[in-house]
Amino acid sequence: MFKSSLWKETKIFAYCLVAAGLGATFGSHSWAAKPPIVDSTIAAAATAPITAGDLSAGFAPIVEKSLPAVVNISTSKKARPAAAEAPSEMDPFFRQFFGREFGGRGFSMPRERSERSLGSGVIVRSDGYLLTNHHVIDGASDINVVLHDKRELKARLIGSDPKTDIAVLKVDAIGLPVVPMADSTKIRVGDLVLAMGNPFGLGQTVTMGIVSAQGRTNLGIEDYEDFIQTDAAINPGNSGGALLNARGELIGINTAILGASGGNQGVGFAVPVDLARNVMTQVIDHGKVVRGYLGVAPQNITPALAKTFQLKDTHGVLIGDVTPGAPAQNAGLERGDVIVALNGKSILNSNQLRMTVSMMAPGSEVNLRVLHGGVEKNVSLKLAELPTDVAQAGGGRSKESSAPTSALQGVSVEASSGRGVVVTDVDAGSAAAAAGLREGDVIQEVNRTPVTNIADFNRALQRVNEGNVLLLINRGGSTQYMAIQNK
């Protein structure tokens, strides 16, 4: 994953669309004709093939209408020079040319220097509200916006949300061009998209591609991830720019790139506009983002866990832990329960549950369909507000630990100062390592039986004949289940 210190950049291979039976040459690359891929929002094209005449104007009408609402953003911030940049004495050879004031005791390096960065933004309200990335304006002392008509305006930060990398800016102007927002839940893989922004500081640029994937998570870019993946060419400076559908509607804010070199590798990510719109509304209305809070540690259900818990499939979310005093505990949810639906909508994985709850307001009433011991039940509760910091406490190694030993193949453990045993070593080629067990994990249960010491741990394992061993582990203060093939 490539990240700049000043911004994360989304970057994607250029994509060429040609009509069936035709060939086209773009630059030095010749592309063979392929059947047209049509955006799902264009109803007529869904039933009729695209002809060469349909493409005669290209996307110029959409670009002419939308591009004026995509702006260039430049920021500056003060930074202290590194110690290596502030020598206490200049070399005598150079001092004879520059004088004592540059190299003697009277010489001093400036305490601060100015750093500048470039990015992009999208006007979404005619009264001057813009969306961009948090990392584009993070720490900036000055934010300047250059409009399509070359006007340069000072912008002020209304608010930002680092957890989603979305920021809201305001310029003092009215009657500005805007990009209308789409419903990003309706996009489909294969839909045509246009990326607009300010790559390399060159100025407004448009590239074309498709939606390569949806719902990309676990990338380690943001705390809350539900990215649209696209191959529309995006480069440094495009961060905060617009990702549009074929009707010229905003479906995402370009945010990140996958690639070690920063080169165009055809894998870029955008924050869905529904998520960005939710952040913008809260920032404008409340000055900050508040999120709903359920109070569970959700985890995806692997085939091994599904088999161990006797579930029909891997759909749903396993509750690995319940926070004391949280809405989930107050409603009777327990560790080991499986959430299969929220407000009548099926929950397929932990990220879906987390994103859904986070976009709901504190105090919202929700109805959960839960499997408890294999029996389905409905649970109603009211969400709380997500705490800014949730205290976590986990078990640690005992000062008087016993010799490493374990009846679990490839795993060594020691006594814990609290409940359970601490994992001290995991063989790289073991089934435990493949399942994700790590050194420092605290094993608290074996096959739903609590363990308090090494003897309990080994006795519980000896009762396992063959198949999966279900462990409850504490990692960083939060518990989760793990199924391991022991024999």
Options 39, 120, 134, 135, the catalytic residue: 135
Report in angstroms the alpha-carbon separations of 211 from 99, 189, 215, 267, 272.
61, 5, 11, 10, 12
**Domain boundaries of the chain, sorted by first residue:** 1-74+117-289, 292-385, 411-485
Per CATH, the architecture of 411-485 is what?
A: Roll (2.30)
Confidence of residue 65 (pLDDT cuts 50, 70, 90): very high
Strand partners of residue 132: 167
Options 39, 161, 165, 337, the catalytic residue: 165
Least confident of 75-84, 315-324, 352-361, 385-394: 385-394
Q: Do the first three CATH levels of 292-385 and 411-485 match, i.e. the same topology?
A: yes
d(CA 144, CA 202): 16
Q: What is the largest CA-CA distance in the chain?
A: 87
From the list 301, 303, 310, the residue with the least C-alpha distance to 340 is 301
165 is catalytic: yes
d(CA 164, CA 160): 9
Q: Which superfamily does CATH assign the domain made up of 292-385 to?
A: PDZ domain (2.30.42.10)
Q: Which of 2.40.10.120, 1.20.1050.140, 1.10.3720.10, 2.40.170.20 is the CATH number of 1-74+117-289? A: 2.40.10.120
At 178 the pLDDT is 94
Least confident of 21-25, 104-108, 182-186, 321-325: 21-25
Q: Are 469 and 451 in contact (CB under 8 A)?
A: no
321 is catalytic: no
Options 74, 120, 160, 239, the catalytic residue: 239
135 is catalytic: yes
Number of Cβ within a 10 Å radius of residue 403: 7
Is the pLDDT reported for residue 67 higher than 70? yes
Mean pLDDT value of segment 175-187: 92
